[in-house]
Amino acid sequence: MRSGLAYDLADVGVITNITDDHLGIDGVDTLENLAHVKSLIGEAVKPDGYVVLNADDEMSLTIVERMKSPIIFFSKDKDNSYLRYNIEKGSYGVYVENGSLFIENKEGITNLMNIEDIGITFHGNLQYNIENAMAACSALVGLGIDYEIIKNGLATFYCNEELNPGRFNVYKVGEVTVVLDYGHNVEGYKAVIQGLKNMKRNRLIGIIGVPGDRLNRNIENLGKISSQYFDYIYIKEDLDKRGRKEGEVAEILKSGVLSTGYNENSFEIILNEKEALNIAIEKGRPGDVIVVFFEEFKPLVNLIKEKIKEVDMQTEQNNIYESKVELA
């Protein structure tokens, strides 16, 4: 998007939020500048199309006046003033109330479905995917898709390797759970961690890293956030340093982790993310949840599947041994 759009006009444009995760790239140094750049998505919409905006995101609300097409707001609060005013003007609002997803306009209110039935929410536990589902629903409403089709799509789209690779993909490796997620900014980390807190677990292990083109303060902040939630931390780096020296990002993350008084014996630096995951699994205890904020998806998936095979083979050998003991 920073290099321009690959189309002239869209039927629907979606802006989920405007946060500071890409500041410092291509001369975009403030949230106001970033909002100006992202507003292009909404400005390049056909006059009879729709712009989808997050009514709960303060920065997104600053670009409302730039939109020339009708707006569909989504919100976690059905009484959000922007959403209510938009509905009164004759457009749509999508919101959550009492555990259900609703679509409303002047003609009426539709209780589309139960939040727990939306596949990517993990039975309602992933709050950020509830927001993503609202955004997707809003876009489909703007395209005029039948509500039953929208409902079916939301119910059958999951966070797995086949449908949504790299976004909260969960694997069981023996008695250890591994989660792969492409979260690479403060909001992404917070969203994933919030979901992990809802999982039954023993320790929460984080393998953390961040692209090198992020601002130093944002990298350090990721270290601070990680120290507040993870029982053990592995600091790794991306292969693509994006202008940084090897080990530079890791040191900034380390500084953030230690700034909160985090136990120095509860973290280590392993720059290669595949090696870090391998060690984390080997050291894992029953009930541990390991989350990897990764750069390259496929090598980690291959490693996890190798580990699962090893566990399965060991289990099979143990079962054979126990059977022989019983026969003896």
Q: pLDDT digits over 71-120, tens only?
A: 999 999 999 999 999 999 999 999 999 999 999 999 999 999 999 999 99
Instruction: Find which of 4-13, 27-36, 39-48, 179-188 is predicted with most confidence, using mean pLDDT.
Output: 39-48
Note if the pTM is more than 0.75. Answer: yes
Long-range contacts of 157-161 (CB under 8 A, 24+ apart): 157/119, 157/120, 158/119, 158/120, 159/119, 159/120, 159/122, 159/126, 159/129, 161/301
Residues of the chain with CATH 3.40.1190.10: 10-156
Long-range contacts of 213-220 (CB under 8 A, 24+ apart): 213/24, 213/25, 213/242, 213/243, 214/21, 214/24, 214/185, 215/23, 215/24, 216/252, 218/20, 218/21, 218/23, 218/185, 218/186, 219/249, 219/252, 219/253, 219/256, 220/252, 220/253, 220/255, 220/256, 220/259
Q: Which CATH superfamily is domain 169-313 in?
A: Mur ligase, C-terminal domain (3.90.190.20)
Residues of the chain with CATH 3.90.190.20: 169-313
Block residue for tokens 């403060």: 186
Q: Whole-number mean pLDDT of the chain?
A: 92
**How many angstroms separate the CA atoms of 303 and 98, rounded?**
41
Mean pLDDT of 168-191: 93
CATH architecture of 10-156: 3-Layer(aba) Sandwich (3.40)
Least Cα distance to 133 among 102, 165, 171 occurs for 102
**How many angstroms separate the CA atoms of 311 and 22, rounded?**
40
